[in-house]
Amino acid sequence: MADIDYWLLCDELTVVQASLLVAGHDPTAYEENVERWAYEKQPKRYSAVKTAIMMGIKKTLIKGELKEDHENHHEPFISPHLSTVDVESLKEWMLNKGFDNHFLYFPEEKNSEVLDKEHPRFSPKLAAALKAWSAFDDIETLKGNSPKTAVRNWLLKNAHELNLCKKNETPSKTAIEEIAKIVNWKPQGGAPETPLGKEQDKKPNQIGQFAVKKQAPLEETANIDPYDPDDLPF
Protein backbone atom coordinates (compact mmCIF):
# COMPACT_ATOMS: atom_id res chain seq x y z
CA MET A 1 0.00 0.00 0.00
CA ALA A 2 1.10 3.57 -0.67
CA ASP A 3 1.32 6.06 2.20
CA ILE A 4 -1.87 7.83 1.14
CA ASP A 5 -3.84 4.56 1.36
CA TYR A 6 -3.57 4.55 5.16
CA TRP A 7 -5.99 7.46 5.30
CA LEU A 8 -8.64 4.87 4.45
CA LEU A 9 -8.45 3.81 8.11
CA CYS A 10 -10.12 7.07 9.14
CA ASP A 11 -13.87 7.09 9.78
CA GLU A 12 -13.84 10.86 10.28
CA LEU A 13 -11.65 13.57 8.78
CA THR A 14 -11.25 17.30 9.09
CA VAL A 15 -12.58 19.24 6.13
CA VAL A 16 -9.00 20.14 5.20
CA GLN A 17 -7.93 16.48 5.19
CA ALA A 18 -11.02 15.34 3.29
CA SER A 19 -10.64 18.10 0.70
CA LEU A 20 -7.01 17.24 0.05
CA LEU A 21 -7.76 13.53 -0.30
CA VAL A 22 -10.67 14.07 -2.68
CA ALA A 23 -8.52 16.50 -4.67
CA GLY A 24 -5.86 13.80 -5.00
CA HIS A 25 -3.24 14.92 -2.48
CA ASP A 26 -1.77 13.31 0.64
CA PRO A 27 -2.80 15.54 3.59
CA THR A 28 0.47 14.77 5.36
CA ALA A 29 2.34 17.08 3.02
CA TYR A 30 -0.13 19.99 2.97
CA GLU A 31 -2.66 20.17 5.79
CA GLU A 32 -0.62 22.24 8.24
CA ASN A 33 -0.06 25.23 5.95
CA VAL A 34 -2.53 24.93 3.08
CA GLU A 35 -4.99 27.46 4.52
CA ARG A 36 -2.25 30.06 4.89
CA TRP A 37 -1.35 29.98 1.21
CA ALA A 38 -2.91 32.17 -1.45
CA TYR A 39 -5.44 30.38 -3.68
CA GLU A 40 -3.05 30.20 -6.62
CA LYS A 41 -0.43 28.53 -4.39
CA GLN A 42 -2.76 25.87 -2.98
CA PRO A 43 -2.75 22.32 -4.42
CA LYS A 44 -4.85 21.85 -7.53
CA ARG A 45 -8.58 21.33 -7.00
CA TYR A 46 -8.30 21.85 -3.22
CA SER A 47 -10.27 25.11 -3.02
CA ALA A 48 -13.13 23.83 -5.19
CA VAL A 49 -13.43 20.56 -3.25
CA LYS A 50 -13.27 22.33 0.14
CA THR A 51 -16.05 24.74 -0.87
CA ALA A 52 -18.23 21.86 -2.11
CA ILE A 53 -17.74 19.79 1.05
CA MET A 54 -18.43 22.68 3.41
CA MET A 55 -21.61 23.57 1.50
CA GLY A 56 -22.59 19.90 1.53
CA ILE A 57 -22.27 19.82 5.32
CA LYS A 58 -24.17 23.09 5.67
CA LYS A 59 -27.05 21.74 3.57
CA THR A 60 -26.91 18.39 5.46
CA LEU A 61 -26.05 16.55 2.25
CA ILE A 62 -22.94 15.27 4.04
CA LYS A 63 -22.77 14.24 7.67
CA GLY A 64 -20.34 16.46 9.47
CA GLU A 65 -19.96 19.45 11.76
CA LEU A 66 -18.93 22.96 10.89
CA LYS A 67 -17.03 24.46 13.82
CA GLU A 68 -16.02 28.03 14.50
CA ASP A 69 -12.53 29.15 15.46
CA HIS A 70 -12.80 31.58 18.39
CA GLU A 71 -9.14 31.70 19.36
CA ASN A 72 -7.01 32.71 16.39
CA HIS A 73 -9.01 35.63 14.99
CA HIS A 74 -10.78 38.75 16.25
CA GLU A 75 -14.09 37.45 14.95
CA PRO A 76 -15.10 33.78 14.90
CA PHE A 77 -15.24 32.06 11.52
CA ILE A 78 -15.95 28.56 10.22
CA SER A 79 -12.63 26.72 10.34
CA PRO A 80 -11.99 23.89 7.85
CA HIS A 81 -9.28 22.66 10.23
CA LEU A 82 -11.76 22.24 13.10
CA SER A 83 -14.79 21.21 11.03
CA THR A 84 -15.22 17.47 10.51
CA VAL A 85 -16.82 15.17 7.95
CA ASP A 86 -18.02 11.56 8.15
CA VAL A 87 -16.12 9.50 5.58
CA GLU A 88 -18.94 7.10 4.64
CA SER A 89 -21.31 10.02 4.15
CA LEU A 90 -18.66 11.78 2.07
CA LYS A 91 -18.28 8.73 -0.17
CA GLU A 92 -22.06 8.45 -0.64
CA TRP A 93 -22.19 12.15 -1.56
CA MET A 94 -19.37 11.64 -4.08
CA LEU A 95 -21.25 8.76 -5.70
CA ASN A 96 -24.36 10.92 -5.98
CA LYS A 97 -22.23 13.54 -7.71
CA GLY A 98 -20.97 10.97 -10.22
CA PHE A 99 -17.47 10.54 -8.77
CA ASP A 100 -17.48 6.75 -8.89
CA ASN A 101 -13.88 6.16 -9.97
CA HIS A 102 -11.88 8.12 -7.39
CA PHE A 103 -8.41 6.57 -7.12
CA LEU A 104 -8.59 6.27 -3.31
CA TYR A 105 -12.22 5.70 -2.39
CA PHE A 106 -13.39 3.76 -5.46
CA PRO A 107 -10.23 2.22 -6.95
CA GLU A 108 -12.05 -0.96 -7.97
CA GLU A 109 -13.76 1.01 -10.72
CA LYS A 110 -10.47 2.07 -12.30
CA ASN A 111 -7.70 -0.23 -13.52
CA SER A 112 -9.25 -2.94 -11.36
CA GLU A 113 -7.92 -5.92 -13.31
CA VAL A 114 -4.34 -4.64 -13.33
CA LEU A 115 -4.34 -4.07 -9.55
CA ASP A 116 -6.27 -7.22 -8.61
CA LYS A 117 -3.79 -9.59 -6.93
CA GLU A 118 -6.18 -12.51 -7.50
CA HIS A 119 -6.27 -11.98 -11.25
CA PRO A 120 -4.60 -14.86 -13.14
CA ARG A 121 -2.46 -12.37 -15.09
CA PHE A 122 -1.54 -10.16 -12.13
CA SER A 123 1.92 -8.65 -12.54
CA PRO A 124 3.47 -7.01 -9.44
CA LYS A 125 5.77 -4.85 -11.53
CA LEU A 126 3.00 -3.66 -13.84
CA ALA A 127 0.84 -2.82 -10.82
CA ALA A 128 3.77 -1.02 -9.19
CA ALA A 129 4.33 1.04 -12.34
CA LEU A 130 0.67 2.04 -12.47
CA LYS A 131 0.61 3.00 -8.78
CA ALA A 132 3.84 4.96 -9.12
CA TRP A 133 2.50 6.86 -12.13
CA SER A 134 -0.72 7.68 -10.25
CA ALA A 135 1.24 8.88 -7.19
CA PHE A 136 2.49 11.91 -9.13
CA ASP A 137 -0.84 13.31 -10.29
CA ASP A 138 0.24 16.56 -8.68
CA ILE A 139 3.51 17.80 -10.19
CA GLU A 140 4.37 19.47 -6.87
CA THR A 141 5.11 16.05 -5.40
CA LEU A 142 8.28 15.90 -7.49
CA LYS A 143 9.91 18.26 -4.95
CA GLY A 144 12.47 19.50 -7.44
CA ASN A 145 13.54 16.04 -8.63
CA SER A 146 13.39 14.73 -12.17
CA PRO A 147 10.41 12.40 -12.80
CA LYS A 148 12.64 9.34 -12.95
CA THR A 149 14.41 10.17 -9.69
CA ALA A 150 11.14 10.98 -7.92
CA VAL A 151 9.53 7.74 -9.12
CA ARG A 152 12.61 5.74 -8.11
CA ASN A 153 12.54 7.23 -4.60
CA TRP A 154 8.80 6.53 -4.30
CA LEU A 155 9.26 2.91 -5.37
CA LEU A 156 12.11 2.42 -2.89
CA LYS A 157 9.98 3.84 -0.10
CA ASN A 158 7.05 1.55 -0.93
CA ALA A 159 9.02 -1.50 -2.10
CA HIS A 160 7.64 -3.89 0.51
CA GLU A 161 4.01 -2.99 -0.15
CA LEU A 162 4.58 -3.30 -3.91
CA ASN A 163 6.29 -6.71 -3.74
CA LEU A 164 9.53 -5.32 -5.12
CA CYS A 165 11.86 -6.93 -2.59
CA LYS A 166 14.34 -9.75 -2.99
CA LYS A 167 14.43 -12.91 -0.90
CA ASN A 168 16.42 -11.13 1.80
CA GLU A 169 13.64 -8.47 2.07
CA THR A 170 15.79 -5.67 0.61
CA PRO A 171 14.39 -3.66 -2.33
CA SER A 172 15.29 -4.99 -5.76
CA LYS A 173 17.13 -2.01 -7.20
CA THR A 174 17.16 -3.52 -10.68
CA ALA A 175 13.39 -3.94 -10.76
CA ILE A 176 12.90 -0.46 -9.33
CA GLU A 177 15.26 1.06 -11.90
CA GLU A 178 13.46 -0.65 -14.78
CA ILE A 179 10.03 0.41 -13.51
CA ALA A 180 11.24 3.99 -13.04
CA LYS A 181 12.38 3.99 -16.68
CA ILE A 182 8.94 2.85 -17.81
CA VAL A 183 7.04 5.37 -15.67
CA ASN A 184 9.36 8.27 -16.54
CA TRP A 185 7.30 10.73 -18.60
CA LYS A 186 10.35 12.82 -19.50
CA PRO A 187 12.75 10.20 -20.92
CA GLN A 188 14.89 12.86 -22.62
CA GLY A 189 16.01 13.89 -19.09
CA GLY A 190 19.27 15.67 -18.35
CA ALA A 191 20.08 19.36 -18.42
CA PRO A 192 20.32 21.34 -21.66
CA GLU A 193 23.70 21.62 -23.25
CA THR A 194 25.77 24.53 -22.02
CA PRO A 195 26.40 26.76 -25.06
CA LEU A 196 29.75 28.38 -25.75
CA GLY A 197 29.96 31.83 -24.29
CA LYS A 198 30.98 35.08 -25.92
CA GLU A 199 33.95 35.39 -28.22
CA GLN A 200 36.38 35.74 -25.30
CA ASP A 201 35.23 32.36 -24.03
CA LYS A 202 36.55 30.73 -27.22
CA LYS A 203 40.22 31.37 -26.49
CA PRO A 204 42.53 28.34 -26.51
CA ASN A 205 43.03 26.64 -23.18
CA GLN A 206 46.40 25.73 -21.68
CA ILE A 207 46.98 22.77 -24.00
CA GLY A 208 46.02 24.67 -27.13
CA GLN A 209 42.52 23.22 -27.45
CA PHE A 210 39.40 25.26 -27.90
CA ALA A 211 36.60 24.94 -25.41
CA VAL A 212 33.86 22.48 -26.28
CA LYS A 213 30.26 22.30 -25.24
CA LYS A 214 29.66 20.61 -21.94
CA GLN A 215 27.57 17.51 -22.19
CA ALA A 216 24.37 17.27 -20.20
CA PRO A 217 25.00 15.26 -17.04
CA LEU A 218 23.67 11.75 -17.10
CA GLU A 219 20.92 11.08 -14.62
CA GLU A 220 22.09 9.17 -11.59
CA THR A 221 21.25 5.49 -11.79
CA ALA A 222 20.59 3.04 -9.00
CA ASN A 223 23.58 1.19 -7.59
CA ILE A 224 22.93 -2.24 -9.09
CA ASP A 225 25.11 -5.25 -8.42
CA PRO A 226 25.32 -7.14 -11.76
CA TYR A 227 26.38 -10.28 -9.92
CA ASP A 228 23.42 -10.43 -7.55
CA PRO A 229 21.28 -13.38 -8.79
CA ASP A 230 18.26 -12.12 -6.85
CA ASP A 231 18.40 -8.71 -8.49
CA LEU A 232 18.12 -9.63 -12.16
CA PRO A 233 16.20 -7.36 -14.55
CA PHE A 234 12.73 -8.35 -15.62
Q: What pLDDT digit, counting tens, does each position of 32-78 carry?
A: 999 999 989 999 999 999 999 999 999 999 999 999 987 766 677 89
Task: With residue 129 as reference, give the H or E element that holds it.
Answer: helix 124-134
Strands 12-14 and 77-86: antiparallel
Strand partners of residue 67: 79
Separation CA 110–CA 103 (nearest Å): 7
Domain ranges of the chain: 7-110, 111-186
Q: How many CA atoms lie within 13 Å of 24's alpha carbon, on the beta-carbon side?
A: 17
CA angle, 68 then 73 then 75, to 5°: 65
DSSP 51-90: HHHHHHHHTTSS-EEEEEE-SSSSS-EEEEEEEEEEHHHH
pTM higher than the cut 0.85: no
Residues of the chain with pLDDT below 70 are 1, 72-74, 107-112, 138-140, 189-234
